[in-house]
Amino acid sequence: MSSERPFLPPSPAPADGPADPHRRRLLQAAAALPGLALAGAAPPAFAAASPTVVARTRAGRVRGVRERGVHVFRGIRYGADTAPLRFQPPRAPSPWAGVAAALEPGASAPQRGEDGDEDCLFLNVWTPALRDGGRRPVLAYFHGGGYDTGAGSDPLYDGTRLCLRGDVVVVTVNHRLNAFGYLYLCQFGDARYAASGNAGQLDLVLALQWVRDNIAGFGGDAGNVTVFGQSGGGAKIATLMAMPAARGLFHRAWTMSGQQVTAAGPRAATQRARRFLAAAGIDPASADAIARLRALPRRTLVEATAVHDFSRVEDARLYFGPVMDGETLPRHPFWPDAPAQSAAIPMVVGNTRDETRAFLGNDPRNFALGWDDLAARLEKQQYVDIRADLVVAEYRRLYPHYTPSEVFFAATTAGRSWRGAVEELEARARQPGGAAPTWAYRLDWGSPLEGGRLRAFHTLDIPLVFDNVRQPGSRTGDGVQAQALADAMSGAVLAFARGGDPNHAGIPRWEPYSLPRRQTLLFDVPAVQADDPRGAERRFWQQAPFLQRGTS
């Protein structure tokens, strides 16, 4: 009998665990066609499988494949099944015998629009070589989707080209999301649930501990780990920078359109938990609320996340995110200052020039606005609490050539997407002498697809940083300019991972962000550095205090 088997160790549910049998996905022992595996989906099998390779982890051996000159391991277990640990900190996996198949991505967390599975603590590894003592820089990517959706197996996160281009090891991670990872139940249960509001963050800590303990066998250097992530992934990184449990597990941080200045306070998080319990059909005042919650099928919990949040945004679903619980997250990530525990970590903070065209550009009405209806539209979407008519007047003064729709997208980008980046950059710049440098970028180059109407939208920098402009879903096109931007941005992240400085020969000199100059590299064709771009907009929005949406 072959010693190779799908890795699914038994995990008995506790007495108050889910009542329905927990579905487990069998990992298929078949290689994936390069670049075609969708997040959470089984890849197509084919007769002539790629050559397989075996690596050793502390828990047991894993079998991957060799594709396009890179060793690829998909779906390595870094944590035990979380169903028996619902709302509790994760645990390391039990050791296994034989060889576990790591040939397809592991399950993603339960989330809307996808079934998912609570047995979701899996990661993927791309490496040029195994057990060669190479001590390569490690790039660990945390996916976006807020704290609500996503998976580390999206084709855009394929690490092959970064491996080949920079001789690095790339890791992508799945972890618990939404209510499974960020529902704060401290007021409803015993000490087992004290960290429930940050369980998803603790999953990421466990993944980084796995990197520390195992990456040498995959040709990587555990002493040189760069975490990078976009949108929610960047916010998760900012939060880790203030979590004592994450201290020393990573050495550089690159965030893309994702910031976490403030976390939810325990009162607001408890209010949201009460609303969630009621939506799930449970009386929050009942003595057995948690036991009943743990007995519900995961799909019921996912459906309950759709309850309306009490934020000002009329279409907002219930917010889930990290909680300043006094222990796992003892302070706000970047307020009132940058976290001292991460002062020695070099950091890159970036955003795109037209962020909100990604999620507000799907409504045709936003491209046909008139001056008379602009303020009312802004009132619902700008987040920062400044009179919308004053916002319109200021943008008309600054940019008299803008149409109402251009004002709408510019103001919403600055008021809800860019403001957090400014807060983090300035907090880092104010840290006492001896702190590591921080670099700022803005992606100005716009996608040529769809007639260019979305410009430099939120997520556009993902395929550029990964050098994956030809992957499904990149939305960059595969023209000369797209590849030039990919060369520049992937080259910067590789230089940063190798030496803690993103400068390389393919871009102009990129100076660290400092006050009062606020140096920022504008990625375009060609790239240029500018001092305090959009400075007038920055000063306008800073007249109101910044509170991250959902954290109050």
Closest residue by Cα to residue 411 from 218, 541, 231 = 541
Catalytic positions = 231, 355, 458
Reduced to 3 states, what is the DSSP secondary structure of residue 524? coil
**Residue 383's CB: how many other CB atoms inside 10 A?**
18
No. of helices (H) and no. of strands (E), the chain: 15, 14
Beta bridge partners of 176: none
Secondary structure, 3-state, 118-157: CCCCEEEEEECCCCCCCCEEEEEEECCCCCCCCCCCCHHH
Beta bridge partners of 220: 136
**Residue 390's CB: how many other CB atoms inside 10 A?**
12
Beta-carbon-side half-sphere exposure of residue 359 (alpha carbons within 13 Å):
14
**Residue 528's CB: how many other CB atoms inside 10 A?**
13
Closest residue by Cα to residue 344 from 431, 260, 225 = 431
Alpha-carbon separation of residue 174 from 3, 70, 89, 168 (angstroms): 27, 21, 15, 20
Are 143 and 157 in contact by the 8 Å Cβ rule? The answer is yes
Secondary structure, 3-state, 394-425: HHHHHCCCCCHHHHHHHHHHHHHHHHHHHHHH
